Chains A and B, each alone.
Chain A
Amino acid sequence: MVSLVREAPMDTCVSGQQAQRRAYVTLVLISLFCLAPFFWVLLAAFDPKASQFLRLPDSLTLAHFHNLLTNESGVRWIMNSVVIIGSATVLTLIFAGLGGYALSRTQAWWKRPLLYAIILVRIVPPPALIVPVYKVMLTLNGWMHGFITGLTDDAALQTTLLRMFSFVDGYLGLILIYTALQLPLAIWIMKTFFDAIPKDYEEAAALDGASQWQTLRYVLIPLALPGFAAAGLFAFINAWGDFLMPLMFTSSPELQTLPLGMFRAFLRVDAIDYGFLTALAVIYTLPAVIAFAFARRFLTQTFSGGVKG
């Protein structure tokens, strides 16, 4: 479009410039329309008199955030989300690292079938999985329940342990589900990444006297950091945005995650508190942004020059 205008002959130049201006105006309008909701969220979160209309606040306040973090269970929701999704991301990275490496290096006949099977898991929409998964989790939960109640008689300790290790209505269940859901994509990312790391480095490390573990620790993981960053970022952001799993697998208010808290706050019958909701939205967005900023450092890091040719 732009180059067309530039190459236009002299006599059509004026009308060409006009066309260009019109195009830019249109683009700006569309952008504004798209960005308006984000501006509204950002402004309303700091506006003492937040309403459903986009407006410049008369003054700025942190009252909504204060309210969210003290009067409401905001801190608890954030903690729940961070613990669950953080653990799931770490687990995903560990399994994806090991699995991706193995799948990259193996020459076995089942390599391709397995790779496609893995991605196939991802094709099934998660809601379709919920019923069977729920059944499995419920069974496992029964065993875990028996195990924990048999472990101690201390009621308070029992409650804590149950909250952490229950498959249904507990951290462990959600962590495992998120790990399972994020793993396929992460394995593919890591497999592709390891494919690009020549085997020579591992062989050089072996001849330098490195054990398998040392090769992993000092050579492979540092070289695969950009891959881990990409896989981790996808896993984190995907799971962070999920709403369905905590809805299905938790019931206690103590286990509520951020999106669930937001949803319930939205549904309250009394007047909608826009300031509170927008503050919640800002806080909800923040970790994803932080995760991206953190991963970006590694994403752009590429290594070269180790092997010739």
Chain B
Amino acid sequence: MSKIELRGIKKDYQGTEIVKGIDITIEEGEFAVIVGPSGCGKSTLLRMIAGLEDISSGELVMGGKVMNMVPPDQREIAMVFQSYALYPHMTVADNIGFALSLKKVPKEEIAKRVKDVAKMLELEHLLERKPAALSGGQRQRVAIGRAIVKRPKVILFDEPLSNLDAKLRVQMRAELTKLHREFGSTIVYVTHDQVEAMTMAQKIVVLHNGHVAQMGAPLDLYHQPDNTFVAQFIGVPKMNLVKGRLQNGLFTLPCGEQVQLDSGYGSAAELQLGVRPEHLQIVRGGAGWEVDLVERLGVETFIHLHCQTQEQLVVRQEGDCQYEVGEKVALTFAQDRCFLFETDGKRRLPAVAVAAAC
């Protein structure tokens, strides 16, 4: 009933294409997160699913039915808005119960269900307040309460945590995951924060300039990024990319540094090497790289390095490590954790493919 399929969905505003042909299948009961940088069309996509925006071309299928022309109030969808959009003239209780009162649910039942939801979201003591008298986090929870009280089959979230402080965000992430487990609704969640995506999603869809850059399980995206955009979008700090030449499985950086890769790779003129900060090791007392900046967070340390030809890399070390700025060090690359991308970054080269191409 609540499986969502997008088939070749496009959206253009007066001739400019914003969403450029998207195919996604979200299974019933799945927690799907759509991530992408600001302005990539996430909200637009979500609003098309909700029915608030016309679909320029393509098909939206929900529960086996084409929904393109079905008005939003008949889609059995709830949505938590980027702006919350709580009715300012209604109390918290009325806000949460509004959808039910429209359906002519008896008053006592509304009161009971509102109370249940309020209890779950810890809003019980705020039920008689107006939205103006709530903090950001409380408004957020009211907006979520308004969405779940209907027990909808599909809930859409548009960057619901973007206005909360870091601590509350962590707490709400856990709450939302719990909520999904309890309700079993299909969830489509939009965010620009890859941490939210990694921690909550069962499936991540990475959106880039109106295209799907890649989709899959969170760790698949981390371990097998299809292109440099996904490689750099997932993971903090972002993956290092350096240009260089490949010859017989030996990757040579412009500064002369050489990385031995799996022998499956052949030779190619120009490629990009991708390696995550956690897959680099610093060798003290070596040479070739110079320390620019050291960020010590206690549990981990980020060391920014450069070599003579100004290639820059970030290394992550466990624990609290002390390095001097200007210190000369050498690097070792975890060779089975290195990725090769074409120079335009659009494609990752599987080991065998490179061998075959050369």
Residues of A within 8 A of B (CB): 198, 200-201, 203-211, 214, 218-219, 222-223, 303-309
Asked if residues B99 and A201 are in contact (CB atoms below 8 Å), the reply is: no
B133 at the interface (CB under 8 A from A): yes
Q: How far is the CB of A22 from chain B (nearest CB, A)?
A: 48
One of B50, B72, B130, B136 near A308 (C-beta < 8 A): B136
Q: Are A306 and B86 in contact (CB under 8 A)?
A: yes
CA distance A308 to B140 in the complex (A): 10
- What are 8 contact pairs spanning A and B, CB under 8 A? A200-B85, A201-B85, A208-B98, A218-B98, A303-B132, A305-B88, A306-B86, A307-B86
B59-93 interface bits toward A, Cβ cutoff 8 Å, 1 = contact, 0 = none: 00000000000011100011101011111110000
Q: Are A208 and B146 neighbours in the complex by a CB distance under 8 Å?
A: yes
Given contacts A306-B84, A309-B83, is CB(A206)–CB(B71) below 8 Å? yes
Query: Which of B52, B84, B87, B146 is A206 in contact with, Cβ under 8 Å?
Result: B52
**Cβ A207 vs Cβ B50 within 8 A:** yes
Q: How far is the CA of A211 from the CA of B51 in the complex (A)?
A: 14
Given contacts A204-B87, A209-B99, 13 further A-B contacts (CB under 8 A): A203-B72, A206-B72, A207-B73, A208-B98, A208-B146, A209-B102, A210-B98, A210-B102, A214-B102, A303-B88, A306-B86, A306-B131, A307-B83
Q: A308-B136, A308-B163 given as contacts; is B99 within 8 A of A208 (CB)?
A: yes
- Select which of B84, B87, B134, B146 is within 8 A of A219 by beta carbon: B87
* Distance, CA A233 to CA B98, complexed state (A): 31
Instruction: Judge whether B87 and A201 touch: CB under 8 Å.
Output: yes
For the complex, what is the distance from the CA of A2 to the CA of B77, rounded to whole Å?
62
Contacts of A210 in B (CB 8 A): 73, 98, 102
**How many Å from the CB of B23 to the closest CB on chain A?**
25
**Nearest A residue to B50 by beta-carbon distance?**
A207
Decide: A306 and B72 in contact? CB cutoff 8 A: no
Q: Please count how many residues in chain B sit with their CB below 8 Å of the partner chain's CB atoms.
A: 31
Q: Which residues of B contact A208 (CB under 8 A)?
A: 73, 78, 98-99, 102, 146, 150
Complex-state Cα separation, A219 to B88, whole angstroms: 9
Task: Give the Cβ gap from B87 to chain A, nearest Cβ, in Å.
Answer: 6
Given contacts A305-B131, A308-B139, whether A209 and B85 have CB atoms under 8 Å apart is no
The answer to whether A304 touches B88 (Cβ under 8 A) is yes
CB A229 to nearest CB in B, in angstroms, measures 14
Q: Is the CB of A203 within 8 A of B52?
A: yes
For the complex of A and B, the 8 pairs showing the least CB-CB separation, nearest first, are A305-B132, A306-B88, A200-B85, A303-B88, A208-B99, A307-B83, A204-B85, A305-B131
Q: Who on chain B is nearest to A210 by CB?
A: B102
Q: Is B103 an interface residue (CB 8 A)?
A: yes
A304 to B78, CA, bound (A): 23
Q: Are B85 and A307 in contact (CB under 8 A)?
A: yes
The residue in chain A whose Cβ has the minimal distance to the Cβ of B101 is A218
Chain A residues near B86 (CB, 8 Å)? 204, 305-307
CB neighbours (8 Å) of B88 from chain A are 223, 303-306
B73 touches A211 (CB 8 A): yes
Closest to B83 in A: A307
Residue of A whose beta carbon sits closest to that of B78 = A207
B348–chain A nearest beta-carbon distance, Å: 38
Q: A203 — which chain B residues lie within 8 A by C-beta?
A: 50, 52, 72, 79, 81, 85
Taken together as a complex, chains A and B put the C-alpha atoms of A204 and B146 apart, in Å, by 10
Q: Which of B78, B83, B102 contacts A200 (CB 8 A)?
A: B83
- Closest chain-A Cβ to B164's Cβ sits at a distance in Å of 10
- Which residues of B are found within 8 Å of A307, using beta-carbon distances? 81, 83-86
| Docked CA distance A125–B99 (Å) | 49
Report the bound CA distance from A208 to B94 in whole Å: 12
Decide: B73 and A206 in contact? CB cutoff 8 A.
yes
A308 and B85 CA atoms in complex are apart in Å by 8
Q: Once bound together, how far apart are the Cα atoms of A214 and B104, in whole Å?
A: 12
Query: In whole angstroms, what is the CA distance A222 to B130 when docked?
Result: 14
Which B20-75 residues have a C-beta within 8 angstroms of A? 50-52, 71-73
**In chain B between 125 and 168, which residues have their CB closer than 8 angstroms to a CB of chain A?**
130-134, 136, 139, 146, 150, 163
Listed residue (A207, A210, A214, A303) with the most chain B CB atoms within 10 angstroms of its CB:
A207
Least CB distance from B248 to A in Å reads: 56
A305-B89 contact given A204-B81, A206-B73, A209-B99, CB 8 Å threshold: no
What's the nearest-Cβ distance from chain B to residue A213, in Å? 11
> A134 to B88, alpha carbons, bound, how many Å?
47
